Amino acid sequence: MREVGERLARGSGTSLRHPFRALDDRALNLTSHDRDLRAALFRLVDVTPACRDVDDLGRHLAGLAGELADPPAPLDAAMRIAHTKAGRVALGSAVAAGVRHMAHRFIAGDSPRAARAELRRLWKGGIASTVDLLGEATVTAAEADRYRDRCTEALGELVAAARRWPANNLLERDSLGPLPRANLSVKVTALTPLLRPAAPERGVADAAERLRPLLRRARELDAHLHIDMEALDSVETTLALILDLLSEEEFREGPSAGLVLQAYLRESPAQLERILAWAERRPRRPPLVVRLVKGAYWDHEVAEARQRGWSVPVFTDKAECDRNFETLTARLLDARPAVRVAVGSHNLRSVSYAIARNRLAGGGDGDLELQVLRGLGDDLATSLAAAGLRVRVYSPVGDLVAGMAYLVRRLLENTSNESFLLARSEGASLDEQLAPP
Amino acid sequence: MTAAQRVEPGTFSNEPVLELRRASDREALLEALSELDARLPLTVPVLIGRDRGVGEGIESTDPATPSRLVASAGIAAGADVEAAVERAAESGAGWARRPASERAAILIEAAANLRRDRLELAALAVRECAKPWAEADADVCEAIDFLEYYARGAIALERGPGLLQVPGERNEMRYAARGVVAVISPWNFPLAIPTGMVAAGLATGNGVVLKPAEQSPGCALRVVEALHRAGVPADALALLPGYGETGRALVTHPGVQTIAFTGSSAVGLEILRTAAETPEGQRHVKRVVAEMGGKNCVIVDADADLDEAVPDVIQSAFAYAGQKCSACARVLVHERVAEALIGRLAGVIETLTVDRPDRFDTDVPPVIEQEAKQRVDRYRELAASEGRVIATQERMPDEGWFCAPTLAGELPESSPLLREEVFGPLITVEPVGSVEAACEAVESLPFALTGGLFSRDPATVAAVGDRLRTGNLYVNRQITGAMVGRQPFGGNGLSGVGSQAGGPDYLHQFVEPRVISENTMRHGLVVD
């Protein structure tokens, strides 16, 4: 494991190759250290698409900066010029440019079509992708229909684009058979306005009406459909929906489909047993892909539980969470070939553990997939690809400004301070990064 | 140090609501409901001391199945009011002499009684008042919270505030029980509100006479039983089920010192008028604590996050069919996002499930009674004739007092729909040119109970917060669901008089201040 980790760390190289990225890293690190500053920055990105013009944006910047007890010098200066319209316009323009710049890092394109070049570039660099369509929350039936239509269209676009990619055996085949090049991640909360935590059957029934045609389309086109997991309120609906639909006779032989297991949930081991029991009972070809992640709604789950006096459903101790991640990794690897395994993490130790554990069990590297997030795990992806491992980048697609707001709300706000990125830039030693949890 | 003082309660925290996303919690509730159904109807007698009257006269039925009798209650007559007030005054004197910590221990024990029966109590609120499960469970929790919170508050109050002391003088301030409290409670929080008002009176050492709404005597009985079983003397707490007549007799009774009322503005103002009288032989001025109506507005600014504003407005407007004093009635939206907001609100309304409250997938339950349904339906017709029904959802069961959740707009400024409290699942929406214009519209209303603001600009949030006199302003969240100790609840303007329930000032209304200043100097000798 140590060997794997060292090699990956070396491969990640230095961010000096990308001066802009180094700048972003610094901004992210700075804000990671100051919760208030980070919150202000995220709130600003969040409100950007709702601002009428750059003047309005400048006003919001000044307002949010005004809430900081101890604003850093540049913000302090910004607030002083925000009293004039010219000042606000200048500030607003700077923010708009900043958000766009940041968006390019995290968003692969403003549409699946626009993202084609980026996905092709990744593929040629030995990296696969899965596309996530960013958009507003679904509260009406029309919005759910629109999301389904966008997904249908995206499947077509992705498959058409992927046809022209060069062959890459590692990325399109494992020991169980072929792996689709086109890969789309969908969200159940976007597929139905009827998600009710106290009545999961209602959301399942409604979302099934929209997911079924998507599964059919994916099967026709030979694309992979991955169902994302979100906050705990929707987990039961999501899990029941996938297992129900994939049990239907017409989907026994495809498409390739997957779900997500969130290791930060205390109940994740029980969830995994439920998934594996299902997979054993209903063997399907191609097998279900299980993507193991830590989970992106930690802050939300903790705050909600504390507000309502519930026992916190997620691990609050990082080491405990990391240990659970490794236990689940091992359980998943040993459950093959009933399932395919993807491990999504930026934690060097977690990733190295998965790779080493797979090899130790006699598995081929091709029978384990690694996944990272665009914008946060790019260096890790490069080094995993260089090491001859199959890595897939989760690539959000959508309007750069509005999409960045959704991304901030749903992902970055919940990204823990304890990221690999931060640990590395602070000069944590390799030993520390690879220490057992 | 007495035994009771030794068990000083720990810090207050809210009773956790059930985690209804867990199947096990849902199953437990359904089981409690079927057990309750087997025992219905409950019999609710007039309870004065150890005397139990007959439980006949009032029929409390299930709004979702009006043929189901939930409770049969007696009607307290004038003589019952006389007897109840007299005994509450006598017994109250002894109750007041007990240390606050002892009374607190009893209230906390009553909270434990409610906690033990929480599933059954939630089921009763479902049946008697058509509260959907989540709301019914929250009602039980809030009742528990009031007991726990006021118990602790009364201990702190008994210590009295510190006064300025100078040499040769000892100044002491105490808060003493005022005397008999008449509680007149509504049906929409059939457990929490009577419990809260009764608990405040008892915690501070008063005898209490409770007259619950005629729509929810069953729930009131369970509250009174929980308190008696915990050790509140029978005479110190009477239950007088009845109609308006009973309430009127209670309010006019010269032995009543304090009236705690929650309900409609019409009744509240009538109580205030009546209570101002000081008939021959009454040696005090009555104090009235009244929580009344509202016409609660939600302002949505152009920079609002509609992904949050839309579900929060829907929840605030239609949960429990809009029958909360805090419910959203009017949406004032910046014209720049009006079309988007209205379109999305309309889309959500079309997806709402109007159904029985005992179903976990119900979004909108029936209203409380036939008269309420007729009233809401009349307002809905008015909306159609004066303006436009933008969206509605008319699929609903045939039986029961169901009303279609409705969004109306394009109403003339003079429309009663923009001023009067509908107390049902009907909201109106109006585009406004600015947040300032929205604030003017809010300020033109006589009510000032709750309000909402959706904005992502700290300057706007601060300005609206400074400007509006609304009792509870909620920013970027739903405007219902105040939590004891976290969101003290109550309105200003014509929405109410008195301090907010579940807050630090509430108990002061049930006590009178007494200051004793003693000269400790004897011929130049200062004794401290």
Q: What is the tens place of the pLDDT at every residue in B155-175?
A: 999 998 889 999 999 999 999
Interface touch B351/A309, C-beta < 8 Å: no
User: Is residue B443 over pLDDT 70?
Assistant: yes
Q: What band does A410 get if pLDDT is binned at 50, 70 and 90?
A: low
Let me know if residue A95 belongs to a domain.
Answer: yes
Q: Alpha-carbon dihedral of residues A127, A133, A134, A138, nearest 10 degrees?
A: -150
User: Is B498 within 8 Å of B478 (Cβ atoms)?
Assistant: no
Range from A15-19, A172-176, A219-223, B43-47 carrying the lowest mean pLDDT:
A15-19
Domain match, B223 and B281 both: yes
**Interface test with chain B among A196, A234, A237, A274, by most B beta carbons within 10 Å:** A196
Work out the end-to-end distance of chain A between its first and last CA atoms, rounded to an integer number of angstroms: 14
Domain match, A187 and A93 both: no
Domain match, A163 and A228 both: yes
Q: What's the CATH code of the domain at A207?
A: 3.20.20.220
Q: What's the CATH code of the domain at B192?
A: 3.40.605.10
Tokens of B516: 């004793």
B94 alpha carbon, distance to own chain's centre: 29
Interface touch A50/B456, C-beta < 8 Å: yes
Domain match, A125 and A96 both: no
Tally of domains within chain B: 2
Choose among A66, A193, A201: nearest Cβ to B351.
Answer: A193
Domain match, A118 and A86 both: no
Let me know if residue B490 belongs to a domain.
Answer: no
Q: How big, in percent rounded to 5, are the helix, strand and coil portions of chain A?
A: 60, 10, 30
Interface touch A201/B361, C-beta < 8 Å: yes
User: Is residue B242 over pLDDT 60?
Assistant: yes
**What are the chain A neighbours of B459 within 8 Å (beta carbons)?**
59, 63, 66
Interface touch A141/B134, C-beta < 8 Å: no
Alpha carbon distance A308, A423 (integer Å)? 33
Strands B51-52 and B47-48: what pairing? antiparallel
Eight-state DSSP code of residue A314:
B
- For B335-356, how does the pLDDT look when each residue is reduced to its tens digit (9 = 90+)? 999 999 999 999 999 999 999 9
Interface touch B347/A64, C-beta < 8 Å: no
A359 class by beta-carbon count within 10 Å (0-12 exposed, 13-18 middle, 19+ buried): middle
User: Is residue A30 over pLDDT 60?
Assistant: no
Mean pLDDT, residues B117-134 taken together: 98
Alpha carbon distance B296, B479 (integer Å)? 9
User: Is A68 within 8 Å of A40 (Cβ atoms)?
Assistant: yes
Task: Please give, rounded to a whole number of angstroms, the shortest distance from the CA of A120 to a CA of chain B.
Answer: 33
User: Is residue A14 over pLDDT 90?
Assistant: no
- Count other C-beta atoms under 10 Å from residue A207's C-beta: 31
Choose among A50, A141, A232: nearest Cβ to B351.
Answer: A141
Q: Please report the pLDDT score of residue A20 as a whole number.
A: 47
Let me know if residue A299 belongs to a domain.
Answer: yes
Alpha carbon distance B411, B235 (integer Å)? 53
User: Is residue A61 over pLDDT 50?
Assistant: yes
SS3 B191: coil
Tokens of B39: 């025992």
Domain match, A272 and A142 both: yes
Alpha carbon distance A95, A36 (integer Å)? 18
Domain match, A372 and A410 both: yes
Tokens of A343: 């491990």
- For B73-112, how does the pLDDT look when each residue is reduced to its tens digit (9 = 90+)? 999 999 999 999 999 999 999 999 999 999 999 999 999 9
**Is the pLDDT higher at B400 or at A79?**
B400
Alpha carbon distance A377, A356 (integer Å)? 20
Q: Please report the pLDDT score of residue A407 as a whole number.
A: 81
User: Is residue B313 over pLDDT 90?
Assistant: yes
Contact residues for B29 (Cβ-Cβ < 8 A; gap 6+): B18, B119, B122, B123, B133, B137
Q: Quick one: which of B261, B78, B69 has its CA closest to B182?
A: B261
- Interface residue ranges in chain B relative to chain A, Cβ cutoff 8 Å: 13-17, 19-21, 23, 26, 133-134, 302-307, 310-311, 314, 336-337, 344, 346-348, 350-351, 353, 359-361, 456-460
- For A239-258, how does the pLDDT look when each residue is reduced to its tens digit (9 = 90+)? 999 999 999 999 999 999 99
Q: Is B450 left (phi over 0), alpha (psi -120 to 50) or beta?
A: beta
Q: Which residues of B are identified as catalytic?
A: 291, 325
Q: Please report the pLDDT score of residue B525 as a whole number.
A: 67
Let me know if residue B27 belongs to a domain.
Answer: no
Q: Quick one: which of B456, B417, B522, B510 has its CA closest to B199?
A: B510
- For A303-339, how does the pLDDT look when each residue is reduced to its tens digit (9 = 90+)? 999 999 999 999 999 999 999 999 999 999 999 999 9
**Is the pLDDT higher at B521 or at A177?**
A177
A140 alpha carbon, distance to own chain's centre: 25
Q: Please report the pLDDT score of residue A261 as a whole number.
A: 98
Choose among B13, B134, B456: nearest Cβ to A46.
Answer: B456
Choose among A59, A193, A199: nearest Cβ to B360.
Answer: A199
**Interface test with chain A among B303, B306, B349, by most A beta carbons within 10 Å:** B303
Q: Please report the pLDDT score of residue A385 as a whole number.
A: 97
Domain match, A165 and A192 both: yes
Domain match, A45 and A118 both: no
Domain match, B105 and B226 both: yes
Tally of domains within chain A: 2
Alpha carbon distance A391, A399 (integer Å)? 25
**pLDDT > 90: percent of chain A:** 65
Beta-bridge mates of residue B522: B525
Q: Alpha-carbon dihedral of residues B204, B205, B206, B209, nearest 10 degrees?
A: 90
Tokens of A10: 């070396």
Tokens of A137: 């929350």
Q: Please report the pLDDT score of residue B506 as a whole number.
A: 98
Alpha carbon distance B172, B178 (integer Å)? 18
Which domain covers residue A100, as residue numbers?
Answer: 34-104
> Final residue of a domain: which of A88, A104, A120?
A104
- Count other C-beta atoms under 10 Å from residue A122's C-beta: 25
SS3 A103: helix
Let me know if residue B31 belongs to a domain.
Answer: no
SS3 B384: helix
- Map tokens 């308190």 to a residue: B227
Domain match, A261 and A398 both: yes
Alpha carbon distance A343, A178 (integer Å)? 19
Q: Please report the pLDDT score of residue A364 as a whole number.
A: 94
Mean pLDDT, residues A199-218 taken together: 98
CA distances from A246 to A194, A208, A278, A402, A435 (A): 21, 11, 10, 33, 39
User: Is residue A18 over pLDDT 70?
Assistant: no
CA distances from A133 to A318, A414, B160 (A): 30, 19, 61
Let me know if residue A8 belongs to a domain.
Answer: no
Q: What band does A208 get if pLDDT is binned at 50, 70 and 90?
A: very high
Q: Please report the pLDDT score of residue A413 as a whole number.
A: 55
> Final residue of a domain: which of A82, A104, A126?
A104
Domain match, B340 and B459 both: yes
Domain match, A331 and A425 both: yes
User: Is residue B1 over pLDDT 60?
Assistant: no
Number of residues that this document lists for chain B: 528
Domain match, B185 and B73 both: yes
Q: Please report the pLDDT score of residue A27 as a whole number.
A: 60
Mean pLDDT, residues A66-77 taken together: 78
Q: Please report the pLDDT score of residue B526 as a whole number.
A: 63
Interface touch A193/B459, C-beta < 8 Å: no
Beta-bridge mates of residue B221: none
Domain match, B470 and B391 both: yes
Let me know if residue A24 belongs to a domain.
Answer: no
Q: Please report the pLDDT score of residue A90 as a whole number.
A: 87
Let me know if residue B8 belongs to a domain.
Answer: no
Alpha carbon distance B341, B75 (integer Å)? 48
Q: Please report the pLDDT score of residue A12 as a whole number.
A: 66
Q: Please report the pLDDT score of residue A17 as a whole number.
A: 43
Alpha carbon distance B272, B496 (integer Å)? 11
Which domain covers residue B422, as residue numbers?
Answer: 296-475
CA-only gyration radius of chain A, Å:
22
- For A330-348, how does the pLDDT look when each residue is reduced to its tens digit (9 = 90+)? 999 999 999 999 999 999 9
Domain match, B248 and B381 both: no
**pLDDT > 90: percent of chain B:** 94
Q: What is the torsional sign of CA A264, A270, A273, A277?
A: negative
Domain match, A95 and A233 both: no
What's the mean per-residue pLDDT of chain B? Answer: 96
- Count other C-beta atoms under 10 Å from residue A132's C-beta: 26
**pLDDT > 70: percent of chain B:** 98
Let me know if residue B43 belongs to a domain.
Answer: no
Domain match, A100 and A186 both: no
Tokens of B113: 């009684």
Strand (E) positions, A243-304?
257-262, 288-293
Q: Quick one: which of B342, B361, B453, B466 has its CA closest to B408?
A: B342
Let me know if residue A68 belongs to a domain.
Answer: yes
Task: Please give, rounded to a whole number of angstroms, the shortest distance from the CA of A51 to a CA of chain B.
Answer: 6
- Containing B493, the helix (H) or strand (E) segment is strand B492-493
Q: What band does A414 get if pLDDT is binned at 50, 70 and 90?
A: low
Mean pLDDT, residues A412-430 taken together: 54
